Amino acid sequence: MLFIRTTFFILLAAHWHLGLSCPQSDHSHPTREKAAEIARNNNARRDVRNVPAPKKIAIENVRVFDGEKLLPLRTVFINGDTIVPYVKGADVVDGNGGTLLPGLIDAHTHPSTVDHLETLSSFGVTTTIVASCQPEAICESIQNHTGLTDVRFSGLSANAPNSTHAKLLGLLPNETLTSPSQAPQFVDDQLAKGATFIKIVAEQPDSTTLDQDIMNALVDAAHAKGVRVACHAAGYAAADRALTARVDQLHHVPQDTPTDEPLIARILAQKAVSIPTLSIFRQFVMGGAAPPSAYSAANASAHELYKASVPILAGTDSNSNPTLGLPFGKALHDELELLVGAGMSTVDVLRSATVLAARHNLLFDRGVVAPGMRADLVLISGDPIANISATRDIQRVWIAGIEYEEVAAA
Ligand SMILES: *[C@@H]1O[C@H](CO)[C@@H](O)[C@H](O)[C@H]1NC(C)=O
Ligand SMILES: *[C@@H]1O[C@H](CO)[C@@H](O)[C@H](O)[C@H]1NC(C)=O
Ligand SMILES: *[C@@H]1O[C@H](CO)[C@@H](O)[C@H](O)[C@H]1NC(C)=O
Ligand SMILES: *[C@@H]1O[C@H](CO)[C@@H](O)[C@H](O)[C@H]1NC(C)=O
Ligand SMILES: *[C@@H]1O[C@H](CO)[C@@H](O)[C@H](O)[C@H]1NC(C)=O
Ligand SMILES: [Zn+2]
């Protein structure tokens, strides 16, 4: 049993990572040359689209999700990139009695091209948290594309040199850590490259994985700089170590032993949050890369975390791997349904992709529809509190006040 389990984890970790960050089609990691070319192409597309200038807009005849309920029909005003109480001379948009949501936030993705941003935008994902940049050249190149999904990224993820993830990611020895003393420099390097948070990969502990000391030192160094730490932890023992290190965000949930009372007590005491990424677990099960029990365990973890009032953020692990990939944008709407399936209320699921995702990623200018906030808005036709699937029926999307016109039906 132990042998089978171990084998399973290695296989799953292997598949897992193939599905995480490979933008190319041959299942290996892109060469650094290839990454540089992708980044050049992305940069060449910055601000060359025919982006309409931000305008004054009045969105009439809409209900607004205020984080708890739908407010009665009203008009929401945008001036440039910001929601305002009122502005004169606005272009009028008829919301037809639909619902205006804050722009959706996917708290765990791996886009690598401007096309991926276009797809995210078309599904109303107006902000995305890119959970590690490997290869690094790519992350900056998908930032600041006016009128498209806003990107935050972590830089290199922290790994030990001989770990499963380090191998799958093709990390160079000098991109990995072997001693706690390297942690402050590692953190500084990522921040210097534009990272706004630090990502650690906690694998199931063995002789090749990151030592607890190093994980602790990374969290201390990040916290000393005022930045948060996200930790990949898809197994119980990994989550245990992540909590010992006092990470802020647990990404994925244990797919072996579901999160239980002792872990939850520590999560609550440390005010950590959970990003279950149920959609990637489902993808792995459907693709045959994980047994059905992995999904049941992940679902049970999400359920227990929610019942205990641990903040849950919606994240998908969307990526462009050709076999085990997960489609950008559409996957977030899937994730919302899966979180409802894990027993969350529709209101809390909407919060997981809006106000909570913003707050716990320190994005205080978004996540709610209110004057002064970034005009990131998604207009849908139905009532997502009555039925979460209504988020799929997208009518219009604005990103910092600029309408993204090619909306998709999720
Ligand atoms: C994107 O904009 C932010 C905020 O203005 C800035 O700090 C960052 O350097 C920019 N990055 C790129 C790649 O343009
Ligand atoms: C990684 O593996 C190489 C080759 O087996 C070995 O020389 C090296 O000491 C290992 N590094 C660590 C940190 O375990
Ligand atoms: C890491 O090593 C490679 C060659 O092995 C070198 O090209 C690169 O500059 C090094 N990176 C850092 C950050 O030292
Ligand atoms: C997920 O958890 C919920 C709440 O316990 C349960 O009702 C549902 O059947 C579970 N779904 C799966 C696929 O395990
Ligand atoms: C929610 O809407 C979807 C799509 O219209 C439908 O398939 C589903 O049955 C509805 N669910 C509930 C609980 O009404
Ligand atoms: Zn990921």
For residue 15, the domain's CATH number is 3.20.20.140
Q: Whose CA is nearest to atom 1 of ligand 2?
A: 162
180 in any annotated domain: yes
91 HSE (CA, 13 A, CB side): 11
What is the per-residue pLDDT for 88? 97
What secondary structure letter does DSSP report for 90?
P
CA of 255 to the centre of ligand 4 (A): 14
Q: How many domains does the chain have?
A: 1
| Strand spans (E) along 26-98 | 56-65, 70-79, 82-84, 91-94
Secondary structure letter of residue 211 according to DSSP: P
Q: Above 80 in pLDDT, residue 178?
A: yes
Task: Identify the nearest ligand to the CA of 338 by its number.
Answer: 4
Pocket test for ligand 5, best of 349, 387, 394 (most atoms within 8 A of CB): 387
What is d(CA 74, CA 93) in angstroms, rounded to the nearest whole number? Answer: 12
Mean pLDDT of the 317-329 span: 91
Ligand 1 mean position, distance from CA 143 (Å) = 7
Whole-number pLDDT of residue 20: 34
Number of Cβ within 10 Å of residue 221's Cβ equals: 20
Contact between 273 and 248 (Cβ < 8 Å)? yes
In terms of residue numbers, what domain contains 306? 2-50+103-366
Find the mean pLDDT for residues 335-345: 98
- The answer to the question of residue 384 being in a domain is no
146 within a domain of the structure (yes/no): yes
Average pLDDT, the chain: 91
Answer yes or no: is 379 within a domain.
no
Is 262 among the domain residues? yes
Distance 345 CA to ligand 5 centre (A): 15
Listed in order, strand segments (DSSP E) in 203-351 are: 228-232, 249-251, 273-275
Report pLDDT for 12: 41
**Residue-level pLDDT at 279:** 97
Q: Which ligand has an atom closest to residue 388 CA?
A: 5
Taking CB atoms and a 6 Å cutoff, what residues make up the pocket around ligand 2? 161-162, 178
* Ordered DSSP codes for 316-358: --BB--TTT-B-TTHHHHHHHHHHHHTT--HHHHHHHTTHHHH
Tell whether the model's pLDDT for residue 181 goes beyond 50: yes
Ligand nearest to the CA of 163: 2
pLDDT at 10: 36
| pLDDT of 222 higher than 80 | yes
Q: How confident is the model at residue 274 (pLDDT cuts 50, 70, 90)?
A: very high
| Mutation choice for ligand 1 from 114, 138, 144, CB with most ligand atoms inside 8 A | 144
> Which residue ranges have their beta carbon within 6 Å of ligand 5?
387, 389
- What residues are in contact with ligand 1 under a 6 Å CB criterion? 140, 143-144, 194
Q: How far is the CA of 225 from the centre of ligand 1 (A)?
A: 19
For ligand 5, atom 14, the nearest C-alpha belongs to 387
What is the Cα 369 distance to its own chain's centre? 20
- Percent of the chain clearing pLDDT 70 (strictly above): 92
Which SS3 state, helix, strand or coil, does residue 133 take?
Answer: coil
Nearest ligand to the C-alpha of residue 166?
2
At residue 324, the pLDDT reads 83
Please give the average per-residue pLDDT across 304-318, as a whole number.
98
Phi, psi angles (nearest 5°) of residue 305: -60, -45
Number of other residues whose CB lies within 10 A of the CB of residue 101? 27
Confidence of residue 53 (pLDDT cuts 50, 70, 90): confident
Residues 379, 380, 381, CA angle at the centre, nearest 5°? 130
In angstroms, rounded to a whole number, what is the distance separating the alpha carbons of residues 277 and 339?
A: 9
**Position 408 in a domain:** no
Ligand 4 proximity of 15 Cβ (cutoff 6 Å): no
If you average pLDDT over residues 317-341, what whole number do you get?
94
Band of the pLDDT at 2, cuts 50, 70, 90?
very low
Does residue 66 sit within a domain? Answer: no
Q: Could you tell me which residues are beta bridge partners of residue 64?
A: 71, 100
Q: Is the peptide bond before 276 cis (omega within 30 degrees of 0)?
A: no
Could you tell me the distance, in angstroms and rounded to a whole number, from the CA of residue 175 to the centre of ligand 2?
A: 14
Residue nearest to atom 5 of ligand 1 (CA): 144
What mean pLDDT do residues 255-284 have? 97
Index of the ligand 5 atom closest to the CA of residue 388: 1
Mean pLDDT of 75-104: 98
Q: How far is the CA of 162 from the centre of ligand 2 (A)?
A: 6
Pocket test for ligand 3, best of 174, 182, 187 (most atoms within 8 A of CB): 174
Helix, strand, coil proportions of the chain in percent (round to 5)? 40, 20, 40
Q: pLDDT class for 30, splitting at 50, 70, 90?
A: low
Tens digit of pLDDT for each residue in 143-175?
Answer: 999 999 999 999 999 999 999 999 988 899 999
Closest C-alpha among 409, 410, 405 to residue 148: 405
Rounded mean pLDDT of 356-379?
A: 98
User: 224-227: long-range contacts (C-beta < 8 A, 24 or more apart)?
Assistant: 224/184, 225/187, 225/188, 225/191, 227/187, 227/191, 227/195, 227/196, 227/197, 227/198
Q: What is the mean pLDDT of residues 370-387?
A: 98
pLDDT at 56 over 90: yes
Nearest CA to ligand 3 atom 1: 174
How many angstroms separate the CA atoms of 363 and 89, rounded?
30
Residues with CB under 6 A from ligand 3: 172, 174
Closest ligand 1 atom to Cα of 144: 1
Q: Which atom of ligand 4 is nearest to the CA of 343?
A: 4
* Nearest ligand for residue 129 CA: 6
Q: Which residues contact 333 (CB under 8 A, 6 or more apart)?
A: 123, 389, 391, 392, 410
* pLDDT reading at 204 higher than 70: yes
**Has residue 273 got a pLDDT over 80?**
yes
What average pLDDT does the segment 278-288 reach? 95
Asked whether residue 276 is domain-assigned, the answer is yes
User: Ligand 2 centre and the CA of 210: distance in Å?
Assistant: 12
